[in-house]
Structures are given as C-alpha cells and as structure tokens.
Amino acid sequence: MTVFDHVEFDNHEQVVFCRDVQAGLYAIVAIHSTALGPAAGGCRMWPYASAADALTDVLRLSKAMSYKSALAGLPLGGGKAVILGDPAVDKNERLLHAFGRCVQHLGGRYWTAEDVGTGLSDVQIIGEQCDYVFGTSVSPAPYTALGVFEGMRAAVAYQLERGNFRGLRVAVQGLGNVGRHLCHLLHDAGAELIVTDINPAAVSYAVEFFDAKTVAPSAIYGQPADVFSPCALGGILNDTTIPLLQASIVAGAANNQLGERRHAQTLADRSILYAPDYLINAGGLLSASREILHDEGEAELLHRIRRIYSTALRVFVTADEHGRTTADVADSLALAQLADSQLADSQLAEEELDYSGIEGISAL
C-alpha cells in the first residue's frame, strides 16, 4: 500500500517524509491544496503509536486546513506537519532546526506554525532556519477561542433559541491554551462549566477561576450539558462516544473531531447539532495569517472572526432545509471556494435564508 491508496488521501498535492538522523527527526509534511494560495498549517508533535497513525493524522489535518482557509475567506491553501515524538522528552533546538530546514526546502509552498505539542517559542526556533513560519509574534489561541465562542453562540441561537449563555451548561474537554481561553469567554458570558483534562494544574485553574465542576476524562461525554465542546485531540466523536452524549450541541476547537465522516450523520440522527470544527476554529488562522499576507489590523481581524457566527448559521439553516448534515454543507461550501466559485451563486446566499423565529440573531 502507498500513500496514494490511503483512505485519507484526498488528491493531496504533495506529501513529504522528512528524516534527519543526527537530530532524531522523523516528520511528515502534507500539502493538501495550494489552489487559493500557499499551504498554511501548524506543526504538531505527538508520540504516535506508529508512522501509519502519523500519516493518517497529517492527511486529515491538512485537508481540514484547506477547508478552514476557504471558509474563512483567506487566500491560503491547506497544509500540516507532524513530528513523531514526545514533546516533553524529545523536543529540542536541534530537532526544531532540522524541521525548519525541511520546511525551507519546500520554498514557500508550505508555511508552518504552532500546534499541539509545539508553542510560540518552538516556532521562533524553527524560524531561525526557515523563512516560512507564521504566528511568531502573538499566540493564536485567544483568537481561536473567540471564533469557537462565536460558532457556539450561533449553535445556541439556532438549536436552543437562546440569545445568551446564562445558566447553560457547557462540558469542555481539554484545557490547553485554546480550551482555557474559551472557558474564560464562557464563564464571563454566564455559562456553567464542566471540565476535564489530563493535566491536574489545568483542572485546578478551571476550578479556581471559573468555578468549574470537574470530571474524569472518560466521564465527560455523558455529562448532562447543553453543549459538548471538544478542545483536545481529534477522532473523539465515534461509535463509542456519541451514544453517551447528553448535549444537544457539539461545538469545540479540536481538529477532526469526527472519527469517520459517517459520524456526522450519527449525530444528526440523534438531533445533535454539530458545528464543524474547521468552520468555527479558524480564528487563530485568521490572526496568524497576517504574518503571511501582511494585511488588516486588529479591528478588521476581530470583525472577520465574529463573522464566523453568521457563516455557521448559514450552514445550520441549509443543512436543515435540505436534509443534509452540517459537515456536508460546510464541505460543499469549502469545495466551492476551492473551485473558485462565488458564494453569491451558492445556495447559501443570505437572501435565500429565513432566520425568523430564532431568538438572539440580531448580529446578522
């Protein structure tokens, strides 16, 4: 079997396997599409069980980045990189420099940034050997959290006909940089939080500052909540976990939340509204991409992130009107963008949609 036969291979333009023996680097860079511009996406470092698992992850993540850029209206393509290794043990300056040289050899077809297992300081080290890094000045996490908050706000308005979060219960899985910032926003908006994380310090922080209820990682799925918000790793919505959900909305920051594409229909069959991750977690990319595109100030950036609210509503309405899953509608919208289609010609045009009767949609 070759990469071309891989179930997650989606006509990716380029897949590069990087090896530096002296630095101990094993990495894979996947460029899904450069139709709209250079491929952009973070570098994840994770102790994958196998190289096959790493390949699956990078193929899925890079495709999602293409869709994320397209839905965000950015002139960027989709790419991703994974480094095989435990960031707590194996990450060092030599390894990051070696990875930077691998990215440099791609000549700007792929721009890299932080992701799970890497942070702002790591990207800055990579940038010592590479011209094609972004997100080096400001962490994208708060902006990612804001986009997820706006997407969740749209889901609450549509599914629950609520214009605010006061008294709503939100179960947050994962309290990393994005999850913590999202909890800040939800707590300030009046939500009651149920949280879990494998890091005890992160859990203690949530208890102290957000008055959060804590549960074991395995117990988070079955919590009686209005919203389930996955903010850790992907693939967590599957045949085992979906039947446990008591929430009527899934909206979170984690990439590739669906175990398989069919699980979008499984959620819909249970009347659970799914906000596609690549639709609502684009805030960080919108922020960090300014270092590639050299445009727009903070006010315009925040405006574009808050537009995630209305885009999400369009997806939700269209899915209901046409009996499709929200993932299918979001995919179609992204593919139309990748094919250089005009949103005004699509079935998602705002004038065709009826938002009457939905409380809290004054932002449109």
Kindly list the catalytic residues. Answer: 80
Instruction: Measure the CA–CA gap between 130 and 89, rounded to whole angstroms.
Output: 23
Q: Is the dihedral of CA 70, 232, 178, 253 positive or negative?
A: positive
CA contacts within 13 A on the Cβ side of 135: 29
Give 18-34 as a 3 state SS string. Answer: EEECCCCEEEEEEEEEC
Q: Is the dihedral of CA 210, 216, 218, 223 positive or negative?
A: negative
Six-digit token pair at 285? 């990319």
Task: Tell which residue, 143, 166, 145, has the closest CA to residue 156.
Answer: 166
Instruction: Measure the CA–CA gap between 304 and 286, rounded to whole angstroms.
Output: 8
Please tell me the total number of residues recorded for the chain in this structure. 364
Task: Tell which residue, 270, 253, 241, has the closest CA to residue 183.
Answer: 253
Six-digit token pair at 170? 């939100």
In contact, 27 and 81? CB cutoff 8 Å: yes
Q: What single-letter amino acid sits at 157?
A: A
* Residue listed under structure tokens 């023996």: 21
Instruction: Measure the CA–CA gap between 254 and 312, rounded to whole angstroms.
Output: 16
Instruction: Measure the CA–CA gap between 26 and 243, rounded to whole angstroms.
Output: 37
* Neighbouring residues of 14: CB distance < 8 A, sequence distance ≥ 6: 29, 30, 31, 106, 109
Cα 69 from chain centroid (whole Å) = 11
Q: What single-letter amino acid sits at 224?
A: P
Q: What single-letter amino acid sits at 192?
A: E
Phi, psi of 110 (to 5 degrees): -130, 130
